[in-house]
Every structure is written in structure tokens, then in C-alpha cells.
Structure 1
């Protein structure tokens, strides 16, 4: 039964981590046109604790992408310099869409794993009642 509970815990931690990742991707997409915005990236870490369950994962820290900002030509923009350029963002929509899809699919896989573990645990309890 301990393995089933560890499976539930691992799936739940995966769902939480992917939900956090999807939130970061959403922030990047929402700020793609914000001047001076640096893309955010999130890293994951395997959790090893008192339960000795190395399958659990957590989103740890958010970092800013250090790639150079896009130079946008718009002489009418209030932040434009004397040549008419201002700093855009370094958000690449193709990367963000791919990250969003990957996070969604990973979330769904963890959800299926959680549901399967829950059904197995329910079946075990049903067998023990007999």
C-alpha cells in the first residue's frame, strides 16, 4: 500500500510542478510585448525527504533569461532613443507555445497516473472489506 501512496504523492507533485510551469509560461506570453521584459524560466528539483520517495518533484526557482533584448524600431515610442530604437522583450512565442504544450501533456500524464493509483487503492480497499 505504501507504493500506491508514493505513486499518488509523486503524481501530485508532478501536477503541482507543471501547473507552476504553465503559470510562468502564461506570464511570459502576457508580457511578450512589454518593453524591457526578460523571459522567465523555471527549474525543477527531485525531492528526497523522510519518505525516501525520489519520484517527487518540485518547481524550485525562477530565473530570468539573459539573452539580449530585441531592438524595436519605433521612433514614436516614448522609450525610443535618438535613433528611434527601444528595448523589446526576449520572449519567443514559438518556445512559449512549445513549453505550454509540454507542460499540459506532462500534467495530463501525471493526472492519469494519479487516477490509476487512486483506482488501484480503491480496489485494494474493496478487496480488504470482503
Structure 2
């Protein structure tokens, strides 16, 4: 593979990984008030491509955060036990917003790399035509 196609492969793998991460962060935010919901996390793994090719990032299996669920006091809730408590979610909105911002910036950096590679390739083709 050429250096241009390697750079495009690396940036597109990063785009896919960050898009998946953003999808799971948005699921966590939308289910923050769902009783019993466990936060989803997405690990990144190194995917070895062809021999001599670049190492690409890929998404591993989605994992559920095993930290304790929030205990909510609301005796009128249908899921409340005899003490008036039920299990909420373990989603912390501040962490999710920070993760979303980090994923967005990483996505934008990969997109910029993709665009720069495309511009360099186009510039090289213009030079070769002359």
C-alpha cells in the first residue's frame, strides 16, 4: 500500500472507532434516568493489518460498568422495595459529557488527517499532470 492509502486507512479506522464511542456515550446519556441501567464503555484495541501495513484502531466488545448502582429513595416508585429505595443507574453525566467532548475532538482530528491526506494526494496528482 502507498503512504497515502495507509494514512487514509488509519484515519478512517479512527473515525469509525470514535463514532462508535460517541454512539455509546449518547446511549448512556439518554438512559441516565433509567432504573438499573449500567453505563456502557467501549475499549479500543490495536488491529494489526497486513504485514508491513499500519496498525489500525478497532473497537472491542462493549463492556458494562460494574460500579454500584445509585440507590434512590422514592417510596411511590413502582420498583421501590419495602424501604422505599430502588436502584437507579450508574451514569455520571459529567463523565459522559467529558467523554463525548474527547471523542468529538478525536473524531475531528481524524477527519482533519483524512482531509490533509486527500489534499496532498490531489496536489501530487496535479504536479504529475504538468
TM-score range, shorter chain: over 0.9
Whole-angstrom CA distance in 2 between matches of 1:110 and 1:52: 22
Q: CA deviation at 1:51?
A: 5.2
Give the match for residue 5 of structure 2.
Answer: 5
1:71 corresponds to which residue? 71
| CA displacement, residues 94-120 of structure 1 (integer Å, 9 cap, x when unaligned) | 100000000000000000000000000
Q: Which runs of 4+ in 1 moved over 2 A?
A: 51-55
- Aligned pair count reads 130
Equivalent residue number for residue 16 of structure 2: 16
Are 1:98 and 2:98 an aligned pair? yes
Shift of 1:52: 3.2
Q: Which residue of 2 aligns with 1:85?
A: 85
What's the offset of the Cα at 1:67? 0.2
TM-score, normalised via structure 1 length: 0.96
Structure 1 partner of 2:110: 110
TM-score relative to the length of structure 2: 0.96
CA RMSD of aligned residues (A): 1.2
- Partners of 2:39 and 2:89 lie apart in 1 by 7
- Are positions 1:50 and 2:81 aligned together? no
Instruction: Report the CA distance between 1:54 and its aligned residue.
Output: 3.4
Task: Give SS of 2:48's match.
Answer: coil
Question: 1:47 touches 1:54 (CA, 8 Å); kept in 2?
Answer: no
* Map of 1:27 onto structure 2: 27
Runs of 5+ unmatched residues, structure 1? none
